[in-house]
Amino acid sequence: MMTSREKILAYKTWRQRIRLEDGLYTMGYLNMPNEWEFNYMPDRLDGKSFLDVGSNDGYFPLEAEQRGASRSVATDLYYDGPNGNVGGWNVEGIKLLRLHFQSKIEIASKSIYDLHEFNNKFDVVLCSNVISWLDNINEAIAQLCGICDDTLFIKDGFLTRFDPEPVLQYEKGKGLVAFRANLSYIREVLRVNGFNHIEIKPIFTYQYFDWQTDTFPSVKTDKEIQIFTLPDETKAEGKLNCRNAWKVSEIGNFSFIKNIGWVRTSDIEVAPRSVQSIPGKLLRGMLSENQYTDYIRKKGEENYVKSYMVIAKRG
Q: 3-state class of 309 per DSSP?
A: strand
Closest CA to 78 of 111, 50, 46: 111
Predicted model pTM: 0.90
Q: Which residue has the higher pLDDT, 298 or 70?
A: 70
Instruction: Give the strand pairing for 78-79 and 106-109.
Output: unpaired
Identify the CATH class of 4-204+305-314: alpha beta
Which CA distances in Å does 111 have to 9, 87, 144, 153, 226? Answer: 29, 11, 11, 18, 39
DSSP summary character for residue 229: S
Q: What is the pLDDT of residues 7-38, one digit of tens each?
A: 999 999 999 999 998 788 999 999 999 999 99
Q: Distance (Å, rounded) from C-alpha 121 to C-alpha 109?
A: 17
Identify the CATH number of the domain defined by range 217-271. 2.30.30
Q: What is the pLDDT of residues 143-200, one digit of tens each?
A: 999 999 999 999 998 877 667 799 998 888 877 788 889 899 999 999 999 999 999 9
pLDDT of 293 above 70: no
Same fold, 4-204+305-314 and 217-271: no
> How sure is the predictor about 84, in pLDDT bands with cuts at 50, 70 and 90?
confident
Closest CA to 182 of 152, 155, 162: 162
Question: What residues contact 279, with CB distance under 8 A and at least 6 apart?
Answer: none
Q: Mean pLDDT over all residues of the chain? A: 90
The full set of domain ranges for the chain reads 4-204+305-314, 217-271
Distance of CA 43 to the CA centre of its chain: 19
Choose the most confident range, by mean pLDDT, from 12-26, 78-92, 268-282: 12-26
DSSP string, 57-87: TTHHHHHHHHTT-SEEEEEE-EESS--BTTT
